[in-house]
Structure 1
Amino acid sequence: MTRVTVPASEVIETLREVVAEQPDYTYEAPAHMAGEGAPLSCFYVHVGGNDEPDTPGCLVGHVLNRLGVPLDRLAMYEGTGSGGMLASVLEITGPLDEIYRVDEALALAQDAQDNGSTWADALEAATRKPGE
């Protein structure tokens, strides 16, 4: 499958843009997707009543979709951490250290969101410099 090619800097900029639109948002899976008694679940894609991909779901899902990854492609990776699927959907270009930083930033943002942080707090966790 073809991957979307994008510069590392564009991934981080898109993360900032998505968060700026809903900084106080705290992710919740739609009731029809989260099973009764299930722990907090994150979905890259939310499905509609017909079980077809409908809208981006979590923060990483929004970022990747905005970068051009189709919803049906993202839906294939439900249950996979962002680090496990990122290389399958994106070809990130730029210096190696920036590429590694994007991988780490999205994983940190996803982890913060999955633990109940607002998207603004998830962005802060993702972009914090080591040692801060």
Structure 2
Amino acid sequence: MITLTLDKAKELLAEAVAEKGEDFVYVNRDGRPVAGLTGADCHYVHGDQPGCIVGHVLHKAGVSLADLSEYEGQGAEDPALDLAGATDDACRLLSYAQENQDRGIPWGESVRLALAYM
């Protein structure tokens, strides 16, 4: 079983931002930006790749895309707890980052804001 700590979540968020770029703005698998849309329009998995910021982090932590896809439409805390054994602080950080992303905020700023909430 994976145990995703706050420190590990911070590390994996930084890796996701470095890979996608500070200015990356999430678009759903239909190519639409999610800003102003419901969370259901955000997807953990895009085909054979992780999708949203939490999908990236959990996949980097060792969660399979098949397992992640079972959580589509659910909040970030559900797969974080169930699949990655995330601590409360790690869940909170991932939820904040996801909420920021879902408002159309670029990933770099989404993570900075999430860290500021902590």
TM-score normalised by structure 1 residue count: 0.76
Shift in Å, 1:62: 0.5
Count, aligned residues: 113
How far apart are the structure 1 equivalents of 2:117 and 2:30? 36
**Partner of 1:87 in structure 2?**
81
**Partner of 2:22 in structure 1?**
23
**Partner of 2:109 in structure 1?**
121
Unaligned runs of 5+ in 1: 48-53, 93-98
How far apart are the structure 1 equivalents of 2:18 and 2:102? 19
Over 6 Å off, 4+ runs: none
TM-score normalised by structure 2 residue count: 0.84
Shift in Å, 1:83: 1.4
How far apart are the structure 2 equivalents of 1:112 and 1:32? 18
User: Could you tell me whether the CA contact under 8 Å between 2:54 and 2:98 is conserved in 1?
Assistant: yes
Q: What amino acid is the match of 2:10?
A: I
How far apart are the structure 2 equivalents of 1:61 and 1:129? 21
**Partner of 1:12 in structure 2?**
10
Q: Structure 1 stretch 80-89 or stretch 121-130: which is displaced more?
A: 121-130
How far apart are the structure 1 equivalents of 2:90 and 2:5? 10
How far apart are the structure 2 equivalents of 1:30 and 1:129? 28
How far apart are the structure 2 equivalents of 1:29 and 1:6? 25
RMSD between superposed Cα atoms in Å: 2.3
Counterpart among 80, 88, 91 of residue 100 in structure 1: 88
